[in-house]
Each structure stands twice: as structure tokens, then as C-alpha cells.
Structure 1
């Protein structure tokens, strides 16, 4: 399921035009404040914008918002948590799957029984990824998903996303790490000041 973005912009950034093939990964680097997160939020249809986004041959403008949300998952740098314990953020029917994903991401199963306040930033990043993956999205929008992780945990996340890509999931991955962009991206672009993408 390929992603095609054409003339996507708002008053702060863009226009952006690019395509990512099914199972491909576009890695975007650049300094803080250049507009990388805004790009993801516009693709996710969370911020006002103009331009066209097509995924799997479907123009996003023709889909109701809930249908687009089922196809797409934005994992922000800081995810929201609304309940007291970690486990309350996961549906009971995903009990087996969440523990399998946690093990793959080097998280102990007992973590789900703990208060969310006790989870480190790195644990929360991986938990947010698990929460998103349980919905089986076909387009992943990742905003620095390994920014707070050690090298071993980073490798676990990269391996998990690679497996999802092998099954056809398409990815746009924001990172400050040029080496990571080279590892994970089929195409790596840099966000320049003023919100312009360049090779």
C-alpha cells in the first residue's frame, strides 16, 4: 500500500511532494523546529492543511476521518496517557498480543501492572508503539520513536518495524539520527529551515 503526497502544505511548512512504495520507509531528518512533526500531523489529518494525500490508491479526502484513522497510526514523540495503570490503556482482547510485542521490545510483562507514572520515557515510547501496532495500521507515522532508547532497545524497535514493513506496512520515520535514517529508510530526506524537504 503506497503513500503519495502532493503539494501538502500549511502556512508554516511545505509544499511537500513525495511517494513511498508499499512496505517502504521514508526517513526524514532535520533540526528541531523545521517542521518534521507538522509533516506527520498533516498526513494524519490532524492539522489544517492543503494538498493531496493518497494511500493504497485511495484519496484521503474521500474517506471519513474514522476510516482514515483505521489505516494510519501516528506515534508522537510524547503519547497521551489517561488512566492510572499501564494495562488500562490496552483492550482486554489484546492480552496475548501485547505481551508478545512487549517481549520483542525488551519490556517485562509485569510492566502492564504498574502505574503509568512509574514508566520511564523510553518505556512509554515502546508502550505507545505497542498500543498503535495492536490496531494493525497499514501506514505508520513515527515521530522519533527511539529518541530516549539505548542502542539495544533501539535495535529492537528497528527490527520490529522492519518485520511490519516486510508484511506491507508503509512507514514515514522522523529521526535526528542520520545513521538511523540510513539504516531504516529506503529514501532519506532532510527538512531544511522553512519547512522544505531536500535530498
Structure 2
């Protein structure tokens, strides 16, 4: 029997967002959209335990407050819209001895690990940030516009690869997206942040 990785938000409150309750099943993709400044990114940061918030968050039967923040963030992995790079070499940002699957699918070979971060385009950084996140073997994913800097063809390549990984790894996913076509392709359910309210679409 596969482990339960259900991600559950109970009355989460952060900023102007109040009492957001949402359950994302294992391998389910919930897309979240809304106008700029509506709180989408802050909600993801709350779920990732990167900002103080009201309410409770669970992964399976584990509550966010029950484990150390760094361990929670390893299990519930946030991929922000602007990825962070703290070392000169690409490979230094990946777990030691981790098997990095998906390199060829996303247009890279093993040599990319020796590249300097300074040579990467914004789109390459975005794809490598996704590979880095999955190399850490998370149990849930929080994706903040992960294809925003990609051309349409590469976007669909990333969607196919991520969709396969999500199903294989049985991960619940909250995916912030604005493109209606992408939401139709990906979402099991979709919600729109309208003021302080989360509306089903």
C-alpha cells in the first residue's frame, strides 16, 4: 500500500487571506490562480513553513508544527518563481550522490553539473530548480509559476515530465499558474483567489 501523502490546510490565515481550508490528495494537482498581489505566493510560503501563519497544515498524519522546519521543507518542497543559487557550480546545489533523473528529458546532460551558474539562462535555471527539488525526494510539491520563463514547446515538455513524476512519486501538488490552457491540461481541480476568498473554478 502506498503511503498517504495527503496535504491538508485547515483554516490557514496569512496576510489578507483568511481561513483557507483545502485538501490535496496524493498525486493530485491543484492549480491556483488570481491577480497579482492576491496572496498566492504567501500561501505557498505558509504551507512550506517559511512564513508565520494561523491555522494548521498536515502532510498525511504529520502536522507542520510537530517536526523541525528544515525537515518539513524537505518533505513539502517549495519551488519559488525565482530560484535561489548560492554557489558557483550547478552541481553544488544538488544533494550529494543523488541520482538526478530527468536531465535528458529537460534538455540537459550530466555535464551541466559542472557548469557555472552564471552561464545559465532564466529558463535553464527554472528547469534545473525543478530537477534540484525532485532530487531531494520530497513528498509534496508547491510550485510557483514553474514554467513562467519557458517557451511553449519547453513548457509542454516540462508539464509532461512533471506530470509523470507526480504520479510516480504519489505527490500532492499546489501549482500556481495563470495560463488557462496550462490549467486545463494539468489541474485535477482549480481555484481562484478573489480578494480574501478561494473560489473553485
CA–CA distance in structure 2, aligned partners of residues 107 and 14 of structure 1: 42
Q: Which among 46, 50, 60 is matched to residue 50 of structure 2?
A: 46
2:132 aligned partner: 131
Separation in structure 1 between the aligned mates of residue 141 and residue 190 of structure 2, nearest angstrom: 16
Deviations 1:135-168 (A, max 9, x none): 1101000000000111221112111221122221
**Runs of 4+ displaced beyond 6 Å:** none
Map residues 30-45 of structure 1 onto 2, 5 A cutoff.
30-45=34-49
> Match of 1:152, SS?
helix
Cα distance change on mapping 1:85 and 1:70 into 2, 3 Å: closer
Quote the Cα distance in structure 2 between the aligned partners of 1:73 and 1:156. 21
Is the counterpart of residue 75 in structure 1 residue 79 in structure 2? yes
Is the partner of 1:197 in helix, strand or coil?
A: strand
Residue in 2 aligned with 1:59? 63
Structure 2, unmatched stretches of 5+, are none
- The answer for the alignment partner of 1:165 in structure 2 is 166
Equivalent residue number for residue 113 of structure 2:
112
TM-score (norm 1): 0.91
CA shift, 1:108, in A, is: 4.0
Q: TM-score, normalising length from structure 2? A: 0.90
Whole-angstrom distance in 2 between the partners of 1:165 and 1:101: 13
CA offset at residue 45 of structure 1?
Answer: 0.8
2:145 is aligned with 1:144: yes
CA distance in 2, matches of 1:17, 1:154: 30
Hey, what's the Cα distance between the residues in 1 that align with 2:109 and 2:197?
41
For the residues of structure 2 that align with 1:68 and 1:36, how far apart are their CA atoms? 20
1:180 equivalent in structure 2: 182
Coordinate RMSD, CA, aligned? 1.5
- The count of aligned residue pairs is 195
**Matched residue SS, 2:102:** helix
Q: Match of 1:15, SS?
A: strand
Select between 47-56 and 11-20 the one with higher mean Cα deviation: 11-20
Per the alignment, residue 198 of structure 2 pairs with 197
